[in-house]
Amino acid sequence: MSTAVSRTRARGVETLSLDAVDTRNALSAALVDALAHALADCAGDPGVRAVVLTHTGTTFCAGADLRDPPHPDALVGLLRQIVELPRPVVARVTGHVRAGGLGLLAACDITAAATTATFAFTEVRIGVAPAVISLPVIPRADPRALARHYLTGERFDPAEAVRLGLLTVAADDVDEALAPVLDGLRRSSPQALAETKRLLTARVLETFDRDAAGLTALSARLFSTPEAREGMTAFLERRDAAWVV
C-alpha cells in the first residue's frame, strides 16, 4: 500500500494517518486510493473496533491536489466508504483543514480538533463549488451558518466548526478529549456499533443516493471552465485571481 497513508493499531483502534506532508495531505488520486484501500482492510478485519483518521504535519488535509486531482467519482466513493464503514470513524485533527478535507471530517462519525486548528471552504476562491463534499457536509451542518462559509471562503476556528456541526469537540489537548470516546467505543459491542451507526447515517446516505451523480457532474464541469483554470493558476502562483476587485 502507498505510504500516503500510514497505519498503527492499539487495543482494537486502527489509526490511519494521512502522510503526504510534502503536499499538505492534499487529496491526490494516490492518497484517495491509499485511504480507500486502508478503510476496506479495516472493514474486513474483525480485530478493528474503530478507526481514527488523523494526519502527520501541520495540515490535516489541504483539499484537492490541483496537480493530481482524484476523479470526482473516486472522491464520492471514498466519502461514502467512510459513512458506510461498519466501524465508527473518528477524526483527530491538530492542524489546518481546507475544502475537501472538510468533506472527510463531515463523513466521519465523531470529530475532534485541537484549538489551534483552522478551517475554510476555499472552493469559491478558485472558481469552483464545494460540490462533492456537500454530500456529507450539508446533511450534518447548520444551513444558515454554512451559507456564510460556503459563499465567502473565510477561515474559521474550531469553536465555529463546532457551532456548524462539523466538529464534535474542540480541546487544547485533543488526545485527552478523545480518550473517553475511544474507551466508550472499545466497551461497545461490534454488532451494536455497526447497527447504531447505520441508524445515524441513514439520512446522509439518502443524500448520496439522490445527489451524487448530479454533484459529480457539476464538479467535473466547473473544474473544466476558464474561470476555474484561472483560479487554480492564481492559487499555485500565490496571487489574486483576475476577478478579485
Give the DSSP letter of residue 141: S
Rounded Cα distance between 223 and 66, Å, is 10
pLDDT by 10s per residue, the chain, length 245: 457 999 999 999 999 999 999 999 999 999 999 999 999 999 999 999 999 999 999 999 999 998 899 999 999 999 999 999 999 999 999 999 999 999 999 999 999 999 999 999 999 999 999 999 999 999 999 999 999 999 999 999 999 999 999 999 999 999 999 999 999 999 999 999 999 999 999 999 999 999 999 999 999 999 999 999 999 999 999 999 999 99
Would you give the distance in Å from CA 230 to the centre of its chain?
Answer: 25
Residues in the chain: 245
pTM to 2 decimals?
0.96
User: What's residue 180's pLDDT?
Assistant: 98
9-41: b (≥16 Cβ within 10 Å) or e: eeebbbbbbbbbeebbbbbbebbbbbbbebbee
Rounded Cα distance between 26 and 47, Å, is 29
Give the DSSP letter of residue 94: S
